Amino acid sequence: GAKAATVYVGAVHPDPFEMKEWVPKRPRSLQGIAEAVVPPENTFDVELTREGINNILWDPTTPLTTVSYGEVHEWTLTRSKTHPFHIHLYHVLIVQPGGCGEQHEEGEFYDSVSGNEYEECKVRFKASDVGQRCVLHCHVLNHEDNGAMGWVDVVGANMPRNDVVSPQYSCPVTPRW
């Protein structure tokens, strides 16, 4: 095996070195989000409730909004403590000064956000790598199942597409309940 470290006990290392702050290498889809200028058309307010998203119940035929592929978007979340926000396809960057709640730090990426109850939480993401239908929902299963779920339509040029139509699924066993 390769040598990982040398530990000196009771002695000073003859050639000390300075620890530097770790800066992760992020994929292109997660770069430039904090510095981006977000146009007004790329902003969206999301209020999660037990009754839906922005008072709209799940509708498989109608998106909540349209999102431009390849661009940075800034969303303002409210009520995410009781109704944790979860989005598929993209990680969100917390850009709310001071962070959101006790567990979501400003400048960090998450796929689910549970912030303060009545305070806003601003997040950003870049619609890249994949597009088309992007689902978002309350991460409390009972709320999601009762309609606190929606989708946005990601559209744009040069976007990878998935035009495969899956066959209708049929459960081979009848449930006992």
Query: Is the Cβ–Cβ distance between 136 and 150 less than 8 Å?
Result: yes
Query: Is the Cβ–Cβ distance between 54 and 22 less than 8 Å?
Result: no
> Does the structure show a pLDDT above 90 at 20?
no
pLDDT in tens, 126-172: 999 888 999 999 998 888 888 889 999 999 998 888 778 888 888 77
Backbone angles phi, psi at 146, to 5 degrees: -95, 10
Look at residue 13 in the predicted model and tell me its pLDDT. 65
- Sheet strand arrangement including 85-87: 66-68, 149-155, 132-138, 85-87, 112-113
Backbone angles phi, psi at 95, to 5 degrees: -115, 5
Provide the mean pLDDT of the chain: 88
Question: Which residues are paired to 65 by β-bridges?
Answer: none
Look at residue 53 in the predicted model and tell me its pLDDT. 93
Name the pTM for this structure. Answer: 0.80
Backbone angles phi, psi at 141, to 5 degrees: -55, -45
